[in-house]
Amino acid sequence: MIKPGSPMKLWIGRFTLIMSLAAASLVALHPQQPRQRPNPNEEEQDTKLPNGKSQRDEILKNEHEQNIKDAALLVEMAEELKADLEKNDTFVLSMGTLKKTDDIEKLVKKIRARLRH
């Protein structure tokens, strides 16, 4: 059991808070970004799908849905990491716990890349 006020307990709390805020900001900020209107020249170049919809709009819609799914997965992974850290009564981390941090980092980078795209 980790003692209240111990450095490990503080680290776990801070890590959980940071991961939760990161996930929440990814979900919250993406829909708030104003949709840029393409200039008329770009509109002509935009490929239309057989159903008449813009290919660019469909890609953006799919990326947005994937970002929401990945942000939910990120929260779940952060909670699993927190649980692993809390049940570990020593200051030594297992390789599985370290792998989870790598997986979380990869997922965050994937989300960030889609948002910047």
pLDDT at 47: 85
pLDDT for the residue numbered 100? 93
- Domain hosting 70: range is 7-32+58-116
The answer to whether residue 37 is domain-embedded is no
pLDDT tens by residue, 26-53: 666 665 555 566 565 555 577 888 888 8
Read off the amino acid at residue 112.
R
pLDDT at 65 (0 to 100): 95
DSSP 5: T
Residue 1 lies in a domain: no
Please report whether residue 44 resides in a domain: no
Identify the three-state secondary structure at position 49.
Answer: coil
- Specify the number of domains making up the chain: 1
Token pair listed for 82: 């927190």
Residues of the chain with pLDDT under 70: 1-11, 17, 21, 23-44
Interaxial angle between packed helices 55-87 and 7-32, expressed in degrees from 0 to 180 and rounded to the nearest 10: 170
CA 78 to chain centre: 10
In a domain, 51, yes or no: no
The answer to whether residue 52 sits within a structural domain is: no
Does any domain span residue 15?
yes
Is residue 41 included in any domain, yes or no? Answer: no
In a domain, 46, yes or no: no
